[in-house]
Amino acid sequence: MTPDEWMIPLFGEPEADGKRDVLEGRLLSLALETLRLGTDVTLDFGCWSRDERSAVRWLAESVGASCVLVYVPVDLETQRARIAHRRSAAPDQTFPMSEADLLRWRTLFEEPDAAELGGQEIGSPPPGWPGWPEWAADRWPSFT
């Protein structure tokens, strides 16, 4: 499940005033229902922060599923080439990214450490949150 395939057809742009977070929340709810039925799910979300990844892992485990984090590091030059290729091959199915956007987004990403990649114990949610479900409902407003 990837929000990228839905954002442009539904809203004509990749972010659309917070609608991406709403869409991701619905996809996450659907993913958990699918896991409850015993079917595997792949979430193709950025999950750029450790907190996002911890919430998703906790939620998957809360419905009796296991969660595998797949992280594929990519260097800046390769990323630039992939973006350029996508824009030339399928311009109606992708969105423009400036060099400034790319560089800013790369600084926002929190690289997973060995503990995360190894599926070790999930820590507590950030201070002020009683649990991961509450944190997730705030992060993804439509998550139920």
DSSP letters for 64-81: T-----------HHHHHH
Answer whether residue 14 shows pLDDT above 80.
no
Which residues, other chains included, contact 62 with Cβ-Cβ below 8 Å and sequence gap of 6+?
133
Picking from 139, 113, 114, 116, the residue whose alpha carbon sits closest to that of residue 126 is 139
Query: What are the extents of the domains in the chain?
Result: 4-73+111-139
pLDDT band at 144 (very low <50, low <70, confident <90, very high): confident
- Here the tokens at position 43 are 């979430």
Answer whether residue 16 shows pLDDT above 80.
no
- Here the tokens at position 28 are 């996450």
**How many other C-beta atoms are found inside a 10 Å radius of the C-beta of residue 96?**
10
Q: Say if CB 129 and CB 139 are below 8 A apart.
A: no
For 61, the 3-state DSSP assignment is helix
What does the alpha-carbon distance between residue 114 and residue 120 come to, in Å, rounded to a whole number?
A: 9
Picking from 65, 31, 24, 64, the residue whose alpha carbon sits closest to that of residue 47 is 24
pLDDT greater at residue 137 or residue 144: 137
Give the tens place of pLDDT for each residue, 99-124. Answer: 999 999 999 999 999 999 998 889 99
Long-range contacts, 79-85 (Cβ 8 Å, 24+): 79/106
pLDDT band at 45 (very low <50, low <70, confident <90, very high): confident
